[in-house]
Amino acid sequence: MVQDFILDDFCWSYSRVESFERCPLCFYYQYIKQYKSIPGFFGQYGSFVHKVLEKYALGELAEWELSSYYKKHYPDEVTVDAPPNAWVDLGERYYHQGLDYFNNFEGYDREILAVEHDHNFKVGKYNFRGIIDLECPEEIVDIKTKREQHLTRLTKKHNPDDYITMLDGRYIHKENFRQLYIYAIPFREEYGEYPKLLSLSMARANDWYTVKFDKKLFNEAHDWAVDEIDRIYNAKEFPKGRDVSEFWCEFICGQRLNCKYSNAYIGDIP
């Protein structure tokens, strides 16, 4: 069990809480032992796409400059090789998907009030920090570089209680919007009311996912964060996550060089 005074000093974030939910052992190495985190291809790629779009939103780059900036700086920003794949060169695929996105980027069709706004706020009794990518009138926008997450229809294998209907009629798992529901807390503190819309700008997929704000889902996200932190305080052990894949352990986890469950393990490197 971790001593309470260690956790009491934490400023929590969505990613910190989510890392415990996914893999308690990764959380322990990263935030309790404070082992150095190792960058990965997917993280570097996502950070770079965010950086380019941030420069656009701040007026530092025009639409027609984005692709040239992306091409020029990609080798310096994305330095880790993509994982091997038997069917496709992932590095090439990701690079060209990003290039296609910026070649065809036409700007945002909404007013932007704030870009990469850093907030400190409370979730329950816990101190939180969150950076909102784009704040718009009555809307929070988060930029993602994941693959497509939507469904055009639900089948018998899908629990309808786990899915949200988006404005365009497609479906998406509600966990995709959990972070934005947490960020609705500082949004309300800043603007006096909760956002009416939550949006995911899916850069690599060149898509846009928008849902109406739902107070029930907001309460679920709030309670999830509080309950997970309570679990951390009460945890006697920090085992490997039950559902993490071998691929995630070897290529995505920031503690992959420290963890004996990863094929990339080389020993503890604090």
Domain locations along the chain: 41-103, 114-226
The string of pLDDT tens digits covering residues 112-129 is 999 999 999 999 999 999
Q: Cα 128–239–183 angle (5° rounding)? A: 20
pLDDT score of 3: 76
Q: Cα 240–242–243 angle (5° rounding)? A: 120
102 burial via Cβ count (<10 Å: 0-12, 13-18, 19+): buried
pLDDT-derived band at 1, boundaries 50, 70, 90: confident
pLDDT-derived band at 164, boundaries 50, 70, 90: very high
60 to 63, 99, 228: CA distances (angstroms)? 10, 19, 39
pLDDT score of 268: 59
CB-based contact 234:2 (threshold 8 Å): no
pLDDT score of 247: 94
Angle between helix axes 41-57 and 90-103 (nearest 10 degrees) is 10
Q: Cα 262–267–270 angle (5° rounding)? A: 110
pLDDT-derived band at 158, boundaries 50, 70, 90: very high
Tell me how far apart the 2 most distant CA atoms of the chain are, in Å: 54
Average pLDDT over residues 70-92: 96
Percentage of residues of the chain with pLDDT beyond 90: 95
The string of pLDDT tens digits covering residues 193-215 is 999 999 999 999 999 999 999 99
The string of pLDDT tens digits covering residues 13-60 is 999 999 999 999 999 999 999 999 999 999 999 999 999 999 999 999
pLDDT score of 121: 98
Strand order across the 114-123 sheet: 114-123, 126-136, 139-144, 197-202, 207-212
Residue from 197, 200, 143 nearest 172 by CA: 200
The string of pLDDT tens digits covering residues 217-242 is 999 999 999 999 999 999 999 999 99
Rounded Cα gap, residues 102 and 53, in angstroms:
9
